[in-house]
Amino acid sequence: MDLLRRVTEGLGAWLHYEFCCDRSELFSEKYLAPPVGILLSSAQIGRVFAEFKHPVLAPLMTGRGRRPALDFVISESYPTPNLAIESKWVSDDTDCFFVLGGKKRDLSRLFLRKEFSGPANRSDATPILNYKSNHSSSLSLTPDPHYRIPLLRKVFEGWPPSLSAPQKIMTRRTAPFPKGHPSYQYQVFAWKISCPP
């Protein structure tokens, strides 16, 4: 089983178990940290670090405030990350996963929002992340399509001018887990994020 699928299925099964134990009111990003850390550690492909200072963005940040960090990193040779979870910008040699969990009905609402899927009246509208299939998709970080300009402006506001960014990123979904269950239960989606050559 590849690691992306292991994280998706393991975390989805854990959420369902916790739901059955009547603990859903505790669900939050922080509550997900222990099972994700355990799943990553089980892969035995390197040491797992939580709240790992971002190797590119953290040194560029000046002034007060918390430095940008990656939620989790697997490193075979510290301090170089080989895999990052919930990271946005990392070096080309690092694999990145984005994990999204919640009630199935809340995820469905998110996927239908204009900010996520684009305007409903446009035939060229595409979602930020392909949530319908496991095919590779690309996300343009340039003002194309034009309806994403306001969102991209917010994302890149305050971006250091000396730091380059790719023009697009590639994403590949793994099958959500669990499939086909009631809308009030919990589900996990995960995507592998990469930068094209």
pLDDT of residue 87: 37
Three state DSSP letters for the chain: CCHHHHHHHHHHHHHHHHHHCCCHHHCCHHHHHHHHHHHHHHCCCCEEEEEEECCCHHHHCCCCCCCCEEEEEEECECCECCEEECCCCCCCCCEEEEEEEEEHHHHHHHHHCHHHHCCCCCCCCCCCCCCCCCCEEEEECCCCCHHHHHHHHHHHCCCCCCCCCCCEEEEEEEEEECCCCCCCCEEEEEEEEECCC
Q: Would the pLDDT of 88 be above 50?
A: no
Strand pairing class (47-53; 95-103): unpaired
Q: What are the tens digits of pLDDT across the range 27-71?
A: 888 888 899 999 999 988 889 999 999 888 888 777 778 888 889
pLDDT of residue 45: 84
Q: How many domains does the chain have?
A: 1
pLDDT of residue 89: 36
pLDDT of residue 6: 92
pLDDT of residue 90: 40
Q: What is the side-by-side strand order in the sheet with 168-177? A: 47-53, 69-75, 83-85, 95-103, 186-194, 168-177, 136-140
- Mean of the per-residue pLDDT values of the chain: 88
Tell me the CA distances in angstroms from 179 to 111, 113, 128, 136, 174, one per residue in order. Answer: 16, 21, 21, 20, 12
pLDDT of residue 60: 78
The domain of 98 spans: 3-194
pLDDT of residue 92: 66
Q: What are the tens digits of pLDDT across the range 120-162?
A: 898 888 899 999 999 999 999 887 778 889 888 888 888 888 8
User: What's the rounded Cα separation, in Å, for the pair 148 and 129?
Assistant: 13
pLDDT of residue 1: 67
